[in-house]
Structures are given as C-alpha cells and as structure tokens.
Amino acid sequence: MFRYYNANQNDRHIADCVIRALSVLTDRTWRDVYDELTDLAGDVGMMFDRVEFVEDYLDDRYPRECHYAKTVSEFAREYPYGRYAVTMNGHITAIIDGVIIDTFDCSDRIVRCAWQII
C-alpha cells in the first residue's frame, strides 16, 4: 500500500527523498533533518544525498538488512510492522507498518537495503 506524503516545508517536489524519508520515520520536521544532514555532510566533505553518506549515516544509527531481489511492495508486505528506511537505485523511501510513504509510488522498484528505525 502507498500513501502520499511530502514533508517539504514549501510543498516542493525536489530531490529531497533522504530528508523526506528520515523526517517521517523519525517524527521530525523537514527543516530539522535538513539541518542535521547538512552539518554532518559538511563535516565529512560530502553531499548528503550521496549513497555513501546516506548508508554511513543509517549504519551508524540503525541495523541494516539487504534485500537485493525483492520489490519495495514485497518488502512492505513481508514487514507489516515497524519503521524502515528502504533504499533502491537512486532513491530512498519510508515504510511504516507496511505502508510506503513517499511523494510517488515506488512499490515496483527493487530494494537495495533496509534499516529498521528504532
């Protein structure tokens, strides 16, 4: 199941999937997540939307599982409870209690890895 959600404070549709996903998963505002990621990325000299940065950020905080052969919708059905940050090629989304929460339905994309947000 998919539910539309855009945490962007100006309701813009831009390449801010990292901020949107973390915002809804951690119950923080778009601006709070943006500020945190900007500061951390500046400290390591990297853009916060780089795969390496996102994976390191998530690995430092949450347990990771990789699922290279299933779709986002299959993952959501297999994990009907909990909060997950799910990456795929060029995107990250939030899944909460089996619902994909994003600005578009990415359910047919192939999962790369998932982190349970505790």
Rounded-to-integer distance, Cα 108 and Cα 72, Å: 6
Buried b / exposed e over 46-57, threshold 16 CB at 10 Å, is eebbeeebbbeb
Rounded-to-integer distance, Cα 67 and Cα 84, Å: 13
Residue 17 — pLDDT band, cuts 50, 70, 90?
very high
Rounded-to-integer distance, Cα 64 and Cα 86, Å: 10
Domain, as residue range, for 52: 2-116
Predicted confidence at residue 8, as pLDDT, reads 84
Quote the number of domains for the chain: 1
Confidence check: pLDDT of 27 > 90 = yes
**Alpha-carbon distances, residue 116 vs 62, 91, 107 (angstroms):** 6, 17, 18
Could you tell me if 111 and 77 are in contact, meaning their C-beta atoms sit under 8 angstroms apart? no
pLDDT per position as a tens digit, 5-16: 998 888 888 889
pLDDT per position as a tens digit, 48-65: 888 899 999 999 999 999
Rounded-to-integer distance, Cα 68 and Cα 28, Å: 29
The mean pLDDT of the chain is 94
The helix or strand, by DSSP H or E, that contains position 17, with its residue range, turns out to be helix 17-26
Predicted confidence at residue 23, as pLDDT, reads 96
Residue type, 20: R
Residue 85 — pLDDT band, cuts 50, 70, 90?
very high
Token pair 């900007």 in the structure block, residue = 38
Tell me the two tokens of residue 90.
């060029």
